[in-house]
Amino acid sequence: MIGYYISLAMRSLRGTPILSALMVAAIAVGVGASMTTLTLNYMMSRNALADKDDVLFAVQLDNWDPHKAFHNPSEMPWQLTYKDAIDLLRSDIPSHQVAMHRWGGPIALEGSELRPYTVEARVTSRDFFALFDIPFIHGGTWPHAADNNSAYQIVLSQRTNEKLFGGENSVGRTVNFNGAPFTVVGVIEDWQPSPKVHDLNNGDFLESAEVFLPFGLHRALEIYPWGNTNGWKSEDINSYEDQLGSEYVWIQYWAQLDTPEQMERYRDYLTGFIRERKAQGRFPRPLKFGLSNPSEWLALNEVVDGDDRMLSWLSLAFLLVCLVNAVALLLAKFLRKAPEAGVRRALGASGRSIFSQHLVESGCIGFAGGLIGILMTLVGLALIRQLAMGHMDTVASMNWLMMLSAIGLAILSSLLAGLYPAWRISRTNPSIYLKTQ
Amino acid sequence: MLKMQSIRKSYRTDTIETHALRDFSLAVDEGEFVSVTGPSGSGKTTFLNIAGLLETPTSGQYLLDDEDVGNLNDRDRSRMRNEKIGFIFQGFNLIPDLSLFDNIDVPLRYRGLKGRERKKRIEKALEQVGLSARAKHLPAQLSGGQQQRVAIARALAGEPRFLLADEPTGNLDSLMARQVMELLEFINEWGTTIVMVTHDPDLARRAHRNIQIVDGQVADLQHGAASATAEIA
């Protein structure tokens, strides 16, 4: 009977085009508004590293002001000092570990007509690619030695390789980055986690790096990071060595701990690490460190904050208002057709049949509302992208799941809106209309 | 076929209780053509609605094919209505935005018949009322008499054993009324039991017997010329 009910619904909608359009519009506007905010929240709260939640951990060390905790929920700085990161890299407990920060500069190809352009870079230890499971298209990462010594080697993203070398295998070729020649050792597949779980200090939703450079280049290139650097004490910084030896925090650190035993050992190691530095007069606060998996890291960084959640609730409240309107319109439409329902009852339709028929009609209205709601959501997201000027490009977009959710939300909403009107008409005494029609 | 025993039907508002039927008893045999007459407000339509399972009596017993319908739930009542009862109304009650074909299709859909069987029955019913060529037309494109013939075809397509007609000629001119009446007589000759409410004494006389309802009770019983087998219980 469902096919019959759908054909009746189509006929009914065509029969009252203005009323039907109003109902579809009410659902579409409600769905469009709510799906815009829900999509943003969903995309913002996605964890691109969810499959490694059990083994990846962002490392925090509480080396902060003894009189005032760091201003975040964990009360520990998000990043580490350079010297602590270098020392931590010496541990052989994690399966993989990464010290890194954001950088950037102009990139060019010798003898190419392509004009130099600025790219986002990531200065990182070699395990970056293994730790985050980033596959190589060509070549691989640099050798271990490059994490401590200056090796002018570079890994390109697929997009950069496409732009510079037309997608050819560029391993062994030379590119000019920030005025120095670098040998390409690898090309990775495009990797754009959004939000950037691995670096939430520098724009949660900005694009990931286009080129990757060895961590051992700091002294050779005197690299100052792009992005946040925090400090808590007054220090005389007169040279690059002063910068590297300072208490400034600017290095992000991740460790891969595959087993509970590794985790236990690493905790002991960090405890000893801090005690050792306390003995040297550093780490003035009570001993504290943090190991947060990607999900915890996203929550700790409040990528989706209270305002975002409030906006979602408000948009759902708006959807509710739209649904109340839809209920009124459906009631008017269905009760107008009560005589027809009476005839159907006389011809053998049960109350349940009449209820189902009208509920299916509500569902069809919801489906149409959902389709238009998706278009409205896409428009809403496009507006947000435009207003955010590139900062929300990766999150202000709909995937298939969200599109299906929009349809689902619209149909569910319309079914809810149709419940009462359909029930009302199914309970109508048919004999009233049979005599008067 | 139909047996009502001490049926009472009353409608209640906050302040007033109206008795539409009181101690109403009637039996109709298989194959009968019974006309029901009476003044306006006497309870004719209430009787027809209860007989057609559209309303339930306040008290009393109603047996249809020896089954006590008072015990049936809405679903079973609807199924029985669909399978055993056909309706013809004064106002035709065709669904205006459905073609004649689709109008006749309505009861067959609720019976769950396959598409081919439905089509066969619809074409046969349209042929019986002489409207085969108008299957795709909308009701509004037909005259009143033609619309009533479509309503009869819709009732016939379900092959009911019991046809309830509520003033079937009330909206028709005399020529059309005669045609419709002849059609009902023809249907009755083929074995369908018919109960027809009418204000027209000439039409009432053409039935096998006439029941008169006054103030919600059977007032008189007149046997017609043919097989008068019914009796007041």
Single residue among A300, A324, A343 that ends a domain in this structure: A300
- Domain membership flag for residue B111: yes
B45, A435: Cβ pair inside 8 Å? Answer: yes
Single residue among A260, A277, A300 that ends a domain in this structure: A300
**CB of A349 within 8 Å of any CB in chain B?**
yes
B110, A11: Cβ pair inside 8 Å? Answer: no
Residue type, position A385, single letter:
R
Residue B139 has pLDDT above 90, yes or no: yes
Q: How far is CA A218 from CA A77, A183, A211, B204, in A?
A: 22, 17, 16, 110
Partner residue opposite B110 with nearest CB, options A339, A340, A347: A347
Number of domains in chain B: 1
Residue B225 has pLDDT above 60, yes or no: no
Number of domains in chain A: 2
H-state helical runs in chain B: 44-51, 74-84, 100-111, 115-128, 144-157, 174-189, 201-205
Partner residue opposite A350 with nearest CB, options B49, B74, B93: B74
Single residue among A300, A322, A344 that ends a domain in this structure: A300
Residue B144: its pLDDT value, please?
A: 85
- Domain membership flag for residue B215: yes
Helix A2-15 and helix A17-44, axial crossing angle in degrees, nearest 10: 110
ipTM over 0.95: no
**CB of A434 within 8 Å of any CB in chain B?**
yes
- Domain membership flag for residue B1: no
Residues in chain A closer than 8 A to B87 (CB atoms): 346-347, 434
Test the A interface: residue of B55, B93, B199 with most A CBs within 10 Å: B93
A353, B79: Cβ pair inside 8 Å? Answer: no
- Per cent of chain B over pLDDT 70 is 94
A18 and A76 in a single domain? The answer is no
- Domain membership flag for residue B22: no
Backbone φ and ψ of B8, nearest 5°:
-130, 135
A434, B158: Cβ pair inside 8 Å? Answer: no
Q: How far is CA B93 from CA A29, A424, B27, B154, B171, in A?
A: 38, 21, 28, 11, 12
Residue A64: its pLDDT value, please?
A: 95
Q: What is the pLDDT of residues B115-128, one digit of tens each?
A: 999 999 999 989 98
d(Cα A219, Cα A222) in Å, to the nearest integer? Answer: 5
Is there a contact between A389 and A383 (Cβ–Cβ < 8 Å)?
Answer: no
A249 and A190 in a single domain? The answer is yes
Shortest alpha-carbon distance between residue B225 and chain A (Å): 31
**CB of B93 within 8 Å of any CB in chain A?**
yes
Residues in chain B closer than 8 A to A353 (CB atoms): 78, 110
A208 and A80 in a single domain? The answer is yes
Partner residue opposite A347 with nearest CB, options B74, B75, B106: B106
A289 and A312 in a single domain? The answer is no
The residues, any chain, with a CB within 8 Å of residue A348's CB and separated by 6 or more, are: B78, B79, B81, B82, B83, B107, B110, B111, B158
Instruction: Report, as ranges of residue numbers, the positions in chain A whose pLDDT lies below 50.
Output: 437
Confidence of residue B109 (pLDDT cuts 50, 70, 90): very high
How many residue contacts between A and B have a Cβ separation below 8 Å? 77
A286 and A360 in a single domain? The answer is no
d(Cα B222, Cα B226) in Å, to the nearest integer? Answer: 11
- Per cent of chain B over pLDDT 90 is 39
Q: What is chain B's Cα-based Rg?
A: 17
Chain A, window 122-161: residues with a beta carbon less than 8 angstroms from a chain B beta carbon: none
Report the mean per-residue pLDDT for chain B.
Answer: 86
Q: Per mean pLDDT, which range of A328-342, B33-47, B163-177 is the poorest?
A: B163-177
- Domain membership flag for residue B123: yes
Q: What is the dihedral of CA A205, A206, A207, A213, to 10 degrees?
A: -120
A15, B97: Cβ pair inside 8 Å? Answer: yes
- Per cent of chain A over pLDDT 90 is 51
Structural domain range at position A266: 50-300
d(Cα A266, Cα B233) in Å, to the nearest integer? Answer: 97
Specify burial of residue B186 (Cβ count, 10 A radius: 0-12, 13-18, 19+).
exposed
Q: What is the pLDDT of residues B180-197, one digit of tens each?
A: 888 889 889 988 999 999
A262 and A360 in a single domain? The answer is no
**Residue closest to B89 by CA, chosen among A11, A431, A223:** A431
A243 and A129 in a single domain? The answer is yes
**Residue pointed to by tokens 């209430």:** B46
d(Cα A356, Cα A419) in Å, to the nearest integer? Answer: 10
The residues, any chain, with a CB within 8 Å of residue A13's CB and separated by 6 or more, are: A20, A361, A364, A365, A368
The residues, any chain, with a CB within 8 Å of residue B164's CB and separated by 6 or more, are: B48, B51, B52, B85, B86, B87, B88, B194, B195, B196
**CB of A71 within 8 Å of any CB in chain B?**
no
**CB of B106 within 8 Å of any CB in chain A?**
yes
A219 and A133 in a single domain? The answer is yes
CATH number for position B129:
3.40.50.300
Is there a contact between B29 and B23 (Cβ–Cβ < 8 Å)?
Answer: no
- Domain membership flag for residue B25: no
**CB of B148 within 8 Å of any CB in chain A?**
no
A431, B45: Cβ pair inside 8 Å? Answer: yes
Is there a contact between A153 and A140 (Cβ–Cβ < 8 Å)?
Answer: no
The residues, any chain, with a CB within 8 Å of residue A290's CB and separated by 6 or more, are: A58, A59, A60, A61, A62, A74, A76
Test the B interface: residue of A8, A10, A343, A433 with most B CBs within 10 Å: A343
Structural domain range at position B173: 30-53+73-223
Residues in chain B closer than 8 A to A15 (CB atoms): 97
Is there a contact between A407 and A370 (Cβ–Cβ < 8 Å)?
Answer: yes
d(Cα B4, Cα B48) in Å, to the nearest integer? Answer: 12
Confidence of residue B226 (pLDDT cuts 50, 70, 90): very low
A8 and A136 in a single domain? The answer is no
Residues in chain B closer than 8 A to A12 (CB atoms): 97
A416: region left, alpha or beta (phi > 0 left; psi from -120 to 50 alpha)? alpha
Residue B228: its pLDDT value, please?
A: 32
Helices (runs of H) and strands (runs of E) counted in chain B? 7, 10
Is there a contact between A20 and A361 (Cβ–Cβ < 8 Å)?
Answer: no
A294 and A339 in a single domain? The answer is no
A268 and A368 in a single domain? The answer is no
Residue B4: its pLDDT value, please?
A: 92
Nearest CA in chain B to A346: B54
Shortest alpha-carbon distance between residue B226 and chain A (Å): 30
B93, A346: Cβ pair inside 8 Å? Answer: yes
- Domain membership flag for residue B94: yes
Stretch B152-181: mean pLDDT, rounded? 85
Helix, strand, coil abundance in chain A, percent, nearest 5 = 50, 15, 35
A267 and A201 in a single domain? The answer is yes
**Residue closest to B150 by CA, chosen among B172, B134, B166, B167:** B134
Shortest alpha-carbon distance between residue B153 and chain A (Å): 13
